[in-house]
Amino acid sequence: MNSKLTLTLAIIALILVSVYMLGEIKKTKEKINETQSKSVFSIDSEKLNRVSIARRKTVVQFEKQKGRWVMTSPSKHLIKEWDFENNIYLLTGLSKESEIKEEVNLKDFGLQPPNMLITLFSDSKEETLELGNRTYTGSSLYAKKGDSVNVFTVSGIGITDLEKPSSGFVDMGALPVKMDQVKSIEIKNLQKSFKITCKNDETWFVGDKKADPEKISTFLQALSSLETEKMKYSNETADILKKATQFIKIQYADFDDSGLYVIGSEDKFYDCIRTPTFETMKIKKDNADLFFGINAEKFEERHLFHIHSHDVEKVEIKTKDKNIICSRKDDKWVVGNIEIQSLNSLFWELEKIAWTEKVKDFPSAENITLTFFGKNDKKVKEFSILKKMGKDKKTEYVLKIDSSIYKIEESKLLKIVDIILKDSEGK
């Protein structure tokens, strides 16, 4: 008896659930149908390949080429793609806010002729939205579809930006390239030139020397953010590169932009022409310096040392009066029987040291030579600290590695070496 009752209740519950689910499905379908009936465009933004914006005097057209949006009329230019894609997202999501039911005179709404026509194209269809005057609140516009006489209102959000002149869409960046795709840069300074190249998609080199990735990143960021002041529509062939004495060549190309641009920088200015190979920048004034007048050394890896303590078994420190040997013993650094804890600080400081300038000469009153040995007394690294008393009675010093002399960023190196020398005496 209990089992029959349980089965009956289960069947009733199942029926109730089914009825509820059918009702919810019906509501969802009605909601979808209502949303679709209010949607202005049926073309999915992902399937768009062309957009036309016709005003009373001009027609601005955009096409998707090689995966990116570009302007094709009234002239061919790269555009502020992120802004444009945001406009497209808002445009394809437009809904009818309210419909005008009574008979209307299209002229009264600015729809005969319309103030603006927006046409979206996909591979299989095209749809046109005619836009007229703004409503009395100013936040909406009167509109109608090109194949209908029914008038409705749409939100002005997403439309306002499309009302700007064609030049307002243009990417005014001096170098409109995707910097994360740049793999080679050639920089020419007067009679000298050098290349910066990325190998294995991660390591940058200046010539055959390793470059500092942070400096390369900063340089590319600076180039990508450089903007032109204004744009000139020009069909002339501007052969400025043949006259150029300094320029940057980016080996990257994906679009032929024929515009001539002017870049302003206070009282210094540059002519900039975009070409398929982006051999783009010529300094018009010889003394102008933005990213130019730079040399290869400024991109080099500036950290002087990559000495790891676990690769070193012995450190020799020579001064005019002393010659001490620090040895590793049971994971401790010792001179004889004296533990030298300060030697650990030396390794930490060496990792941070970077040079700021190479100098030809540094007449010094004193020098300290440090030599690092690995297993079997194999020399790992050797350098000298050259120091002298400066004019302000402050000690000045540089580092000499092989035949090169480097000024370095502010460092505790000299202080640590002095402590090691004192510690070795048991003081």
More confident residue, 308 or 102: 308
Report DSSP letters for 26-86, one per residue: HHHHHHHHHHHHHBS--S-GGG--EEEEE-SS-EEEEEEETTEEEEEESS-EEB-HHHHHH
Residue type for position 388: K
Whether the per-residue pLDDT at 65 is higher than 90: the answer is no
In this prediction, what percent of the chain has a pLDDT beyond 90?
A: 19
Whether the per-residue pLDDT at 233 is higher than 90: the answer is no
More confident residue, 176 or 138: 138
Alpha carbon of 316 to those of 46, 116, 312, 401: distances in Å? 67, 81, 11, 15
Task: Out of 59-63, 192-196, 335-339, 353-357, pick the least confident.
Answer: 192-196
Q: 163 by DSSP, 3-state: which?
A: helix
Whether the per-residue pLDDT at 267 is higher than 60: the answer is no
Phi/psi-derived region of residue 51, left when phi > 0, alpha when psi is between -120 and 50, beta in every other case: beta
Q: Provide the pLDDT for residue 189.
A: 59
Residue keyed to tokens 């050797």: 382
Alpha carbon of 215 to those of 188, 206, 219, 301, 305: distances in Å? 18, 11, 6, 9, 18
Q: Provide the pLDDT for residue 250.
A: 55
Task: Out of 4-13, 83-92, 201-210, 388-397, pick the least confident.
Answer: 4-13
pLDDT digits (tens, 9 = 90+) for 218-231: 777 777 776 666 65
Helices (H), 105-241: 213-225
Greatest CA separation found in the chain?
A: 111
Query: How many CB atoms neighbour CB 70 within 10 A?
Result: 22
pLDDT digits (tens, 9 = 90+) for 327-380: 988 888 998 888 888 888 899 999 889 888 889 889 887 899 999 999 999 999
pLDDT band, residue 62 (cuts 50/70/90): very high
pLDDT digits (tens, 9 = 90+) for 77-100: 888 888 888 888 888 889 998 888
pLDDT digits (tens, 9 = 90+) for 123-175: 888 999 999 999 888 889 999 988 788 899 998 887 888 888 888 888 877 66
Tokens of 230: 């204004």
Residues in a beta bridge with 24: none
Q: Torsions phi, psi of 309, nearest 5?
A: -60, -30
Q: Which residues contact 310 (CB under 8 A, 6 or more apart)?
A: none
**pTM score:** 0.52
Q: Torsions phi, psi of 276, nearest 5?
A: -55, -30
Q: Provide the pLDDT for residue 327.
A: 92
Q: Provide the pLDDT for residue 384.
A: 94
Q: Provide the pLDDT for residue 395.
A: 86
Mean pLDDT of the chain: 77
Q: Provide the pLDDT for residue 287.
A: 37
